[in-house]
Amino acid sequence: MFETKYPTMSIYCFFVPSLIPVNTQALAFTADLKLGHYMKIPPRIMFMAQLVSTLLGGTINLATATWLIETRPHICTKQGYPFTCRSTNTFYSASIIWGAIGPARVFGSLDQGIYGPVTWGFLVGAILPVPFWLASKRWPHVKWLHLVHWPVLLAATSNMPPALPYMYTNGFLIGFVFMYLLKKYKFSWWARYNYLTSAAFDSGVAIAGLVIFFAIQSWDGAFPTWWGNPEGDIDHCPLGEASFYGKVAS
């Protein structure tokens, strides 16, 4: 990660990810409208809910970000733990890679870039669905072959740079319980309450985040340290702090 050491760049690092991906937000809102259409929710009500939530969320987000920048020294740096801004630092690092450094030094052969093999992923991604599609045609009675959809299975890898390993294991566990076990053995409950449970999980995460922040972190409190909550902002990737030469600064 290319961590910034300047206050103005910390502000840039904090705000830009909320301002740049307008097309991503538009696609997310469109997907929500499509889901509301499937759920027989009137489009006007869906749009009003999105509009009100955007106004509230944007105002609260801007006010909170401004307050944090003014009251938390070294925000978005390791010295500002726990406010290290993993996602925003990832966005900043990507900006440096594709702008200041250039992809040729990171993914190419220029200056001995070490991440060149990553580009083979484009070829692997293009080929990977083919054998499963052929297998589903050859053995149509094997039901699980028709359920393999590699773009969906690999979509979450785009969030891996700022994420930690347990975020994915927890997601796999919860998904297995609610989307396989309950659907298979408690279908009536799943059909009636699974969507509501998903919304409850989202709301619970938001409420827990508010409680944790205002009750603990804003008072400089800390959770007990254990294997699920390591001390400090630990990067689980050995080369997470490396330059494009593969060297970690001491």
Work out the number of other CB atoms within 10 angstroms of the CB of residue 91: 21
Residue in the block written with tokens 């390993």: 165
pTM of the model: 0.59
Evaluated on CA atoms 49, 52, 58, 63, the torsion sign reads: negative
The pLDDT score that the predictor gives to residue 39 is 82
The Cα 156–Cα 160 span in angstroms is 7
| pLDDT, average across residues 186-203 | 90
Total length of the chain: 250
How far lies 218's CA from each of 19, 36, 60, 196, 214, in Å? 26, 37, 16, 31, 5
The Cα 181–Cα 52 span in angstroms is 36
Show the DSSP H helices in 39-176 as ranges. 43-71, 86-95, 103-106, 120-127, 129-138, 150-155, 165-176
The Cα 25–Cα 227 span in angstroms is 35
More confidently predicted of 15 and 156: 156
More confidently predicted of 65 and 113: 65
Tokens representing 48 are 């009003």
- Please report, for the chain, how many H helices and E strands are present, in that order: 11, 0
112: confidence class by pLDDT, cuts 50, 70, 90: confident
The pLDDT score that the predictor gives to residue 19 is 47
Work out the number of other CB atoms within 10 angstroms of the CB of residue 47: 14
So where are the chain's domains? Answer: 1-101+225-250, 160-219
77: confidence class by pLDDT, cuts 50, 70, 90: confident
51: confidence class by pLDDT, cuts 50, 70, 90: very high
Average pLDDT, the chain: 78
Question: Per-residue pLDDT tens for 135-152?
Answer: 999 998 998 888 888 888
Beta bridge partners of 229: 226
